[in-house]
Chains A and B, each alone.
Chain A
Amino acid sequence: MGIIGWLVDGAAIMNQIPLCRCSYGPYARAMIRVCKEESFHQRQGYELCMSLAFGTPEQKAMVQDALNRWWWPSIMMFGPHDADSQNSDQSMAWKIKRFSNDELRQKFIDATVPQAEYLGLTLPDPDLKWNEAKGGYDHGPIDWSEFWRVVKGQGPMARDRIKARKKAWDEGAWVREAALAHAEKRQARKMAAE
């Protein structure tokens, strides 16, 4: 949970902060709110990671394991490499998307590596290396097949989550219907009294 707050929300923020100034008003306004919530998540997540990383050996192993699992998905959140991205051209032309996928991904990695080092955790990328010439980190190849499987909804967790939301919605139907029925009665009583 801590890793997700720190990395996934961190990646989302990096993706979304530029959108706060995008050309489409409703999207920009929504993004400002979302970014506020996510920056809270990121800090809460990182503090949680600190408790674990500086805690018992078992706790440190727990957070290292979570990092191993979530590092690659986090950097995949920036989308395919610029050369392979289908939707970016139109969004960038319309000034909705202001930075390219690879640009944002690079910024995220450069910001996050020192944060991981502070925690004494290892990033699961043996090819991660500082590149003095470019002033940023080089990283290993991304396995896009997993990305496309998740995006196309083939992850088992996606199935579980959607099922849970549908179940909650279906099982709550009687409550929503009751509220609407009551609202109608209130309205009728109000009109009768006038």
Chain B
Amino acid sequence: MAVWEALLELADDHLVLGHRLSEWCGHAPMLEEDLALPNMALDLIGSARTLYDLAGTLEGKGRDEDALAYFRGERDYRNCLLVERPNEDFAHTVLRQLYFAAFMKPYWDRAMTSTNAVVQGVAGKAGKEMAYHIRHAGEWVIRLGDGTEESARRMADAVEALSIYVDELFDSSDAAQDAEKAGVLPVRAELREAFDAVIADVFSQALLTQPDVAYGQRGGRTGQHGEGLGHLLAEMQSLHRAHPGATW
């Protein structure tokens, strides 16, 4: 059963995005965001840990969260492309967060009735976290979209750059389809309506238009990632790989 692989995809999504957010610590536009962005990162990494643990258990080969997070190379990572996009600037970062959270909130809401108790547990907690992420990121998208000329330009840039990664969120890989059939995880395609409603609401207040995406970018679920993921993993994994077997 490939259900554990579907959980791995989800865990990778959360760890990679959590890591990206953590890169802002100490470099945010104000002290309050130096706290808010890492807080959101901790939410995501917390979910990742539980999901890795569950995936490793279901795989049944004795791989724990550290083995899965630190000892797989980028061709074995299964996160979607959106989450590995570089932080770029604050506009890109908050839009990326809004897109991810607007997808994950209805996802976790549906996962509250998962046939797997651990997934249910994560869903109960993470659903609330995603509600806050939508609000926090959404309010920033609005302020940057409807702020100054410069912020509007940067926000429009971000929309153009990141919107091409949205469609991949709603694809279900073979593993995901197995998990969906088993009632472990929600059907991704069914979340489009809820996602679109949130985005439309924020975008209208942010004076942003949704572009027509002719060709959505895909490949994350089959280990075909952009250049950025390699650098991210090299940094994230370096200490663990330098001291295999050590506990921290």
Q: Which residues of A contact B150 (CB under 8 A)?
A: 174, 177-178
Known: A168-B28, A172-B29. A177 touches B247 (CB 8 A): no
- Tell yes or no: A58 within 8 A of B by CB: yes
Interface residues on B, range: 20 to 34
Contact flags (1/0) for B152-186 with A, using CB distance below 8 Å?
00100000000000000000000000000000000
A191 smallest CB distance to B (angstroms):
17
- In B9-51, the 8 Å CB interface with A consists of 26-30
Q: Which residues of A contact B245 (CB under 8 A)?
A: 56
Q: Which residues of B contact A177 (CB under 8 A)?
A: 147-148, 150-151
Q: Which residues of B contact A165 (CB under 8 A)?
A: 26
- Pairwise interchain contact B151-A185, C-beta atoms closer than 8 A: no
- Tell yes or no: B55 within 8 A of A by CB: no
- Tell yes or no: A30 within 8 A of B by CB: no
- Pairwise interchain contact A51-B147, C-beta atoms closer than 8 A: no
In the bound complex, what is the Cα–Cα distance between A178 and B158 (angstroms)?
16
- Tell yes or no: A143 within 8 A of B by CB: no
Known: A56-B246, A59-B246. A179 touches B143 (CB 8 A): yes
A48 smallest CB distance to B (angstroms):
8
- In A37-51, the 8 Å CB interface with B consists of 48, 51
- In A49-86, the 8 Å CB interface with B consists of 51-52, 55-56, 58-59
Q: Which residues of B contact A181 (CB under 8 A)?
A: 147-148, 151
In the bound complex, what is the Cα–Cα distance between A51 and B243 (angstroms)?
13
- Pairwise interchain contact A55-B151, C-beta atoms closer than 8 A: no
Q: Which residues of B contact A55 (CB under 8 A)?
A: 246-248
Q: Which residues of B contact A164 (CB under 8 A)?
A: 26-27
- Tell yes or no: A176 within 8 A of B by CB: yes
- In B196-248, the 8 Å CB interface with A consists of 243, 245-248
- Tell yes or no: A29 within 8 A of B by CB: no
- Pairwise interchain contact A58-B243, C-beta atoms closer than 8 A: yes
- Tell yes or no: A171 within 8 A of B by CB: yes
Q: Which residues of A contact B144 (CB under 8 A)?
A: 175, 178
Q: Which residues of A contact B154 (CB under 8 A)?
A: 174
Q: Which residues of B contact A95 (CB under 8 A)?
A: none
- Pairwise interchain contact B29-A175, C-beta atoms closer than 8 A: yes
Known: A178-B147, A178-B148. A51 touches B247 (CB 8 A): yes
Q: Which residues of A contact B27 (CB under 8 A)?
A: 164, 167-168, 171
B27 smallest CB distance to A (angstroms):
4
- Tell yes or no: B66 within 8 A of A by CB: no
In the bound complex, what is the Cα–Cα distance between A181 and B243 (angstroms)?
50
Measured CB to CB, the nearest residue on chain B to A178 is: B147
- Tell yes or no: A182 within 8 A of B by CB: yes
Question: Which among B26, B143, B144, B247 has the highest number of chain A CB atoms within 10 Å?
Answer: B143
Known: A181-B148, A182-B142, A182-B143. A168 touches B29 (CB 8 A): yes
- Pairwise interchain contact B147-A179, C-beta atoms closer than 8 A: yes
In the bound complex, what is the Cα–Cα distance between A176 and B144 (angstroms)?
9
B191 smallest CB distance to A (angstroms):
30
- Pairwise interchain contact A168-B148, C-beta atoms closer than 8 A: no
Q: Which residues of A contact B143 (CB under 8 A)?
A: 178-179, 182
In the bound complex, what is the Cα–Cα distance between A51 and B30 (angstroms)?
34
Q: Which residues of A contact B28 (CB under 8 A)?
A: 168, 172
In the bound complex, what is the Cα–Cα distance between A173 and B27 (angstroms)?
12
Contact flags (1/0) for A114-155 with B, using CB distance below 8 Å?
000000000000000000000000000000000000000000
Question: Which among A48, A173, A177, A182 has the highest number of chain B CB atoms within 10 Å?
Answer: A182
Question: What are 12 residue pairs bridging A and B, where the CB atoms are less than 8 Å apart in the complex?
Answer: A55-B248, A56-B246, A58-B243, A58-B246, A59-B243, A59-B246, A169-B29, A172-B90, A175-B90, A175-B144, A178-B143, A181-B148
**Beyond known contacts A175-B90, A181-B147, A181-B148: 14 more, CB 8 A cutoff:** A52-B248, A55-B248, A58-B246, A59-B246, A168-B27, A168-B28, A172-B28, A172-B90, A175-B29, A176-B30, A178-B150, A179-B143, A181-B151, A182-B142
Interface residues of B (CB under 8 A from A): 26-30, 90, 142-144, 146-148, 150-151, 154, 243, 245-248
